[in-house]
Amino acid sequence: MLRFLVFGDLHLEDCTDGEERLECILRHAKEEQVDFMVSLGDLCFPTEKYAHIMDRIRSCGIPVHHTIGNHDVQEWDITHSLCFLGKERPYEAFEAGEYKLIILDTCYWKSEQGEYHFPNKNRVPSLYPVVPQEQLSWLEEQLSDGKKYIIFSHMSLVNPFARRGIANKEAVQQLFEGKDVLLCMNGHDHGSDLKMVNNVPYYTVSSASQFCWWGGNPPGSEVKNLFYKDPLHVIVEVDEREIRIRGMESAFVDLTPEDVGVDDYRWNGVDVHPCAQSCIIKRYE
Ligand SMILES: [Fe+2]
Ligand SMILES: [Fe+2]
């Protein structure tokens, strides 16, 4: 059986208690004796101020695989962020017995001129992130060895909301056809979601810190961070029969979605209740 912890979007730069949140996650990983952890990106700005965070994560005794998030490359080139996170490549694959873990890098933006890695310093208008052809070819090759695959990405591979899920969802989903893709997990949306598309489960892990609301006129002129009391994250167990995702319940620290007019707790295609949903997905049904 494979057991791992997944968290994302801690955004240490936005939190006053970010280090406590991280400690709570590391403690839980130890208690659960997970095989490894995955950070789904947007961990912290890759600056000197947070270098000790990376040391702390490295010293926890459990392997941590990092995913590139847009805030990790908001102002910095990918080479800088890779070095900060201790990653060799922006997208990579690891084997764990019969399973293969594939970590994608979805932080590319698409404009009329082409597809580029973040940062988008000139603010060229681009509606969606995208996975470029070169990475798609790499992914296709990775999926050709008959293993059981678990895919991680910062942006969703299915969320249709603008600027949320990738533009070329169908191209990625097509590569999964006929392959044993057990689960895809993403962050970025700061809420929870689970969709089944062509028998592949796509699970969105909520943020380990907050739901970021924006509104006003023009849209985006008003921004509020609605903090979740606990660092939301999940424990995933995979065996030959099923995939168990164990989430957690929390509460809002102060402001709630009702306070900003999100009465139905739906935001950009995800559920922003203060919880990471639990579920059991049966394999081979
Ligand atoms: Fe984020
Ligand atoms: Fe993000």
Instruction: Give me ligand 2 centre to Cα 284, in Å.
Output: 32
Q: How far, in Å, is the centroid of ligand 1 from the Cα of 144? A: 31
CA of 284 from ligand 1 middle (Å) equals: 33
Residues whose CB is less than 8 angstroms from the CB of residue 182 and which lie 6 or more positions away in sequence, other chains included: 99, 148, 149, 150, 201, 238, 243, 283
Q: What is the pLDDT of residues 188-224, one digit of tens each?
A: 999 999 999 999 999 999 999 999 999 888 888 999 9
Can you give the pLDDT at residue 23? 98
CATH number at residue 153: 3.60.21.10
pLDDT digit string, tens, across residues 140-151:
999 999 999 999
Q: How far is the CA of 241 from the centre of ligand 1 (A)?
A: 32
Query: With bands split at pLDDT 50, 70 and 90, how would you rate the model's confidence at 125?
Result: confident
Distance 149 CA to ligand 1 centre (A): 24
Kindly tell me the burial class for residue 144, based on how many C-beta atoms sit within 10 Å of its own C-beta (0-12, 13-18, 19 or more). exposed
User: Cα of 145 to ligand 2 centre, how many Å?
Assistant: 31
Per the prediction, the chain carries an average pLDDT of: 96
pLDDT of residue 113: 87
Residues spanned by the domain of 129? 2-282
As for how many domains the chain has, the answer is: 1
pTM here is 0.97
Q: What's the rounded Cα separation, in Å, for the pair 20 and 136?
A: 37
Task: Pick the ligand that lies closest to the CA of residue 207.
Answer: 1
Q: Looking at the CA of 43, which ligand is closest?
A: 1
Q: Rounded to whole angstroms, how far apart are CA atoms 209 and 7?
A: 10
**Which ligand places an atom closest to the C-alpha of 163?**
2
